[in-house]
Structure 1
């Protein structure tokens, strides 16, 4: 059970209601994470604003979902892995691409470089090397794409950490556990990592 209440759109008022109504109009539903974020309209608006802005950037929806899966796995966020596995399928990712993205890799060299870079940003807390930047540039990503990759990592760290704190009830089909995953998490939002 969620440790932060999930606000029902029909009982929300003011700015929270407006934001939840906008989410429903766009997605056709209101995910539990946004319901929990609605406790702070400022936090929900910040999340929606950055997510919306990045949706208009140079990185495709597939790349953004693959980064989300890489970061979600790095942070053991089962809520985000469930959500982004579902959304990933909606934007055209195959089950193999979803699995590989969670592992921070791809059979496509360009995608592999991007996901490897995203994972390094997470693991090294942004302190990547010149060689790390060169590797992502060499496959064709420009500085705008690099900036957006970092912004997507930050957005996903925010949602991963929020879901850990909130212990958000998962309302998407659970992501399949990775066979070789050794990572663990202490909240119930992370308990689908079963051997």
Structure 2
């Protein structure tokens, strides 16, 4: 059980209140994980600036990375959120489950991206040369490599915040992978 209460608008500083208002307008609610970032006077703005910064990866490609990394880090919150976002970006349920496992048999370029993201996360940044070579062979660039590693870091931050605070998940639960406890 979480020892962290999700703060509401009146419990955060003025900067975070404005961000809450913007999230409410854009999403219709303030996700609990974002609200948890607001326990810090600066972390929510800093994280959103980082997460929303320009990148060479398209939205759908970012979800490949988010799903693979969140699975490696066993973050139920991010798996639930990115399963929903992955569906919004056109992935089918079966594809999302495969992406979480670090592969994409339905698209060779996304497969190389998923494998890289999983490998970087599992090996704490020490990607194997074979995985990196396959990434480039699939048509990705050095810019894509750096942006993927940055995104692994971005997602790891959120994974760690949820895994430490265990605030309630406010997205539909992600289905368990085969062989994973439900």
TM-score after normalising by structure 2: 0.93
Query: What are structure 2's unaligned runs of at least 5 residues?
Result: none
**Residues 111 and 2 of structure 1: is their aligned pair in 2 closer, same or farther, counting only changes over 3 Å?**
same
Alignment match, 1:188: none
* CA separation of 1:159 and 1:40: change in aligned 2, threshold 3 A: same
Partner of 1:126: 125
Check conservation: 2:64, 2:113, Cα contact below 8 A: no
The 3-state SS of whatever aligns with 1:100 is: helix
Q: CA–CA distance in 1 between the matches of 2:116 and 2:128? A: 10
* 3-state SS in 2 of match to 1:6: coil
Please tell me whether the aligned partners of residues 19 and 45 of structure 2 are also in contact (alpha carbons under 8 angstroms). Answer: yes
Q: Give 1:46's aligned residue.
A: 46
What displacement does 1:11 show? 4.7
Residue correspondence of structure 1 range 77-156 to structure 2 within 5 A: 77-107=75-105, 108-156=107-155
| Residue 30 (structure 2) aligns with | 30
1:133-178 C-alpha deviation (Å, 9 max, x unpaired): 2211111111111111101111111111100111010100000111
1:14 paired to 2:14: yes
Is contact 1:3-1:165 (8 Å) kept? Answer: no
The size of the alignment, in residue pairs, is 181
Unmatched tracts of structure 1, length 5 or more: 182-192
* CA-to-aligned-CA distance 1:90-117 (integer Å, 9 cap, x gap): 1111111111111000011111111101
SS in 2 for 1:41: coil
Which aligned segments of 4 or more residues in structure 1 are displaced greater than 4 angstroms? none
Counterpart CA distance in 2 for 1:77 and 1:11 is: 26
TM-score by structure 1 length? 0.87
- Mapped to 2, the partners of 1:172 and 1:144 lie a distance apart of 32
